[in-house]
Amino acid sequence: MQQINPPQLREWLDDNARTPPVLLDVREAWELERAALEGSVWMPMREVPARLAELDPAAEVVVVCHHGVRSFHIARFLEQQGFGRVYNLSSGVEGWARQVDPSMQTY
């Protein structure tokens, strides 16, 4: 699994020559209501094993949570399930709000 920081992810999302990743948000619903990355796929951490078939193992997946800890565990789990192009958003949406989008609500 690779780590990606918020500015690197912003650069990737802004690069029209590159296929955007699947942004897999593994936070709880109440967290998503406060702050979310546009275009994210929401799948709470506890549901990922049961919903694994909804994800494409060949896709580039960036796993997102609040600070990057839950997403790290899910990214590692995805790799163990055969996903080969998985990234963990280090510092999570908190880092995104502080480093990329200061208008995003923090909590």
As to burial, measured by CB atoms within 10 angstroms (0-12 exposed, 13-18 middle, 19+ buried), residue 88 is buried
pLDDT at 59: 97
Number of domains in the chain: 1
3-state secondary structure at position 38: coil
Q: Taking 90 as the threshold, does the pLDDT of residue 6 lie above it?
A: yes
Q: Dump pLDDT digits (tens) for 32-76.
A: 999 999 999 999 999 999 999 999 999 999 999 999 999 999 999
Q: Taking 90 as the threshold, does the pLDDT of residue 96 lie above it?
A: yes
Residue 92 inside a domain? The answer is: yes
Residue 77 inside a domain? The answer is: yes
pLDDT at 13: 98
Query: Is 25 within 8 Å of 41 (Cβ atoms)?
Result: yes
Distance CA 2, CA 42 (A): 21
CATH of the domain at 65: 3.40.250.10
What 8-state DSSP symbol labels residue 53? G
Residue 107 inside a domain? The answer is: no
pLDDT at 86: 98
Q: Dump pLDDT digits (tens) for 80-91.
A: 999 999 999 999
Full domain range(s) for residue 38: 2-99
Q: Give the residue numbers marked as catalytic.
A: 65
pLDDT at 45: 98
How much of the chain is in helix, strand and coil states, percent to nearest 5? 40, 15, 40
pLDDT at 1: 87
